Amino acid sequence: MSFNASQTRAIHHKNGPMLVLAGPGSGKTLVITERTKYLIEECGIDPAQILVITFTKAAATEMKRRFQRKMNRLCPVTFGTFHAVYFAILKHAYNYSADNIAREEQRYQCMREIIAKEHLTYEDETEFITSLLGEISLVKNSGIEIANYYSKNCAETVFRKIYRQYHEFLYKNRLMQLIGVLIIFVFVLIITYFTTKWVGGFQKIQMSKGNLMVLETIRIANGKLLRQENSIL
């Protein structure tokens, strides 16, 4: 299989971090699986010390399938999503369990109590709550300051009160909301452990896709990762 100059450079990159910017259909999965193979066969990296992180479970499963087919043998490379990897850290470092993930019924019941307390009017309760939760996730996932966000469902001051009360509920009940990407709460808990202990077990770390919160995690972790000569794609 032939690769262009940029793909070849990424595949043969060994030490230190590398950022590869690539659009849909440009061969990101192919490059990462080929680079993983290159690290094992040409650079002598222990497969058990390679961590490959992507955005969705389906993408992680597909990447692992392609890699194993390429190798024609089982290799203990770790493939996972941001959520799966970060939650594994939380379980290992802070004894979190599935009970600490906010269930949908818990989130909706919390929102029902908040909107009743605020005497908000709406046509369809479920649709209204779904929209509010979507906006809360949008604020968290994009890293927008709550003071700079303007809700489409209610007045800004009201949305900020809802946002604050919702997260007070999560904090009080030691719950996390893992929707879409790494959230601030998880980020605050794991960043020190991620950069000093858990990641130390891997020589090479490859990441595929992400959003602003994921990139912020990488940016803050980068000082540690540079010293460990890990690689980020």
According to the per-residue pLDDT averaged within each range, which of 73-87, 106-120, 167-181 is highest? 106-120
Q: Which of 27-36, 81-90, 149-158, 160-169 has the lowest mean pLDDT?
A: 81-90
Closest to 198 measured CA to CA, from 73, 76, 78: 78
pLDDT over threshold 60, residue 222: no
Residue 217 pLDDT grade (very low, low, confident, very high; cuts 50, 70, 90): low
The angle subtended at Cα 7 by Cα 4 and Cα 8, nearest 5°, is: 80
> Angle of helix 125-142 relative to helix 104-117, nearest 10 degrees?
110
Q: Side chain identity at 5, as an amino acid letter?
A: A
**Residue 182 reports pLDDT greater than 90:** no
Give the model confidence (pLDDT) of 58-100 as tens digits.
988 999 999 999 998 888 999 988 777 777 777 776 677 778 7
- Rounded to a whole number of angstroms, the CA Rg of the chain reads 20
Which of 146-155's residues contact partners 24+ apart within 8 Å by CB, and which partners? 153/128, 154/120
CA angle 208, 189, 163 (to 5 degrees): 90
Determine the pLDDT at residue 232.
Answer: 44
Task: Give me the pLDDT at residue 18, please.
Answer: 83
Mean pLDDT of 183-188: 48
Q: How high is the pLDDT of residue 124?
A: 94
Q: Please give the residue that has the higher pLDDT: either 159 or 232.
A: 159
pTM of this prediction? 0.61
pLDDT tens figures, 21-66: 888 888 888 999 999 999 999 999 999 989 898 878 898 899 999 9
Q: What is the pLDDT of residue 144?
A: 83
pLDDT at 77: 93
